[in-house]
Amino acid sequence: MRYFITGTAGFIGFHLARRLLEDGHEVLGFDGMTPYYSLRLKEARNAGLAQFPAFRPVIGMLEDKSLLDKSVEDFKPDVLIHLAAQAGVRYSLENPKAYLDSNLIGSWNILEIARNYGVGHLMLASTSSVYGANPDIPFRETDRADEPLTFYAATKKATELMAHSYAHLYKLPITGFRFFTVYGPWGRPDMALFKFVKAMIEDREIEIYGEGKMSRDFTYIDDLVNSIIDLSKVYPGEDNRVAGIDTLSHQAPFRVVNIGGGQPSGLIDFVETIERIMGKPAKRKMLPMQKGDVPRTFASPDLLVALTGRKPEIGLEEGVKAFVQWYLDHRHEID
């Protein structure tokens, strides 16, 4: 099959594209190569994908609709997976316009392109941040998600709503998936695991927010990729409606699905896992919760399991060990 993926120089897009290429599919990767974090890391990911003859890279911004149009028209994808976005909860407090341009205007361009070129299945990345500080656990897709705590979360929720309207108006099959704290090799330098491991190797303090009382439903990257590929084969429609727990719209071929294992870990447990694997204690600096942070995330995987037959299962010990080994092997290439 032919997959058009936005954000292939990013953490998740890189892993997804590589898996699909390994499985014999064709991938056109669209990425803006923005300097939000290390371009060396993004270039290294792109170089890994370039080893596959079936990979076609396009460098461009989501706001450049003419380039998106030309890329899709030439490639004629079966599935369009939209992962590119301005990421980062905390950065959205500093530069909200970047989120407006990429996450709203860029996502609207993707919706327009999907309808104009008759893409068979459009898949959109959302986030657990849309749940805000939801007091009900685990977070279920049928819960209200109308109280975002950051502009980043608001743009992701807005993208879901825009997508529903397009699914209804143009009968465009769309699946949105909500990620829960994804981690693993080739991860983002602004994420906790990358920052903690780097600081410990350099014998610096690690900053633990919320006095370490927060918890997260960590999702290892390989599990996430499995779930995205599984869901890409489940076109939203009445033939696969799941009674009682589904978000499948009654007006459109549209649904949202959590991708998380439903096994949250405390932040201190996370730090202790890193310490155990690295064989040294961290220098801990305890800090209050940052503006926009939520105390916990906790996915209900029930809908994901009903649709695909499985959920994320890789444990923190195995996942952190894989990241640490990758970082030790590659740090001189990407730092």
> pLDDT band at 92, cuts 50/70/90?
confident
Asked if residue 36 has pLDDT above 90, the reply is no
Q: 232-242 as b/e, with b when 16 or more CB fall inside 10 Å?
A: bebbbeeeeee
What average pLDDT does the segment 31-45 reach? 92
3-class DSSP state for residue 315? Answer: coil
Q: How do the domains of the chain map onto residue ranges?
A: 2-180+221-261+299-313
Question: pLDDT averaged over the chain?
Answer: 95
pTM as predicted: 0.96
- Reported as a single tens digit per residue, the pLDDT across 49-84 is 999 999 999 999 999 999 999 999 999 999 999 999
* Residue 78: per-residue pLDDT: 96
Which of 170, 32, 29, 154 shows the shortest CA–CA distance to 103? 154
- Reported as a single tens digit per residue, the pLDDT across 160-170 is 999 999 999 99
Q: The domain 2-180+221-261+299-313 belongs to what CATH superfamily?
A: NAD(P)-binding Rossmann-like Domain (3.40.50.720)
Residues 255 and 113: beta-carbon distance below 8 Å: no
Catalytic residue set:
152
Burial of 177 (0-12, 13-18, 19+ CB in 10 A): buried
Percent of all residues in the chain with a pLDDT value above 70, rounded to a whole number: 99
Strands 182-183, 2-6: parallel, antiparallel or unpaired by DSSP? unpaired
One DSSP character per residue, 102-164 reads IIIIIHHHHHHHHHHTT-SEEEEEEEGGGGTT--SSSB-TTS-----SSHHHHHHHHHHHHHH
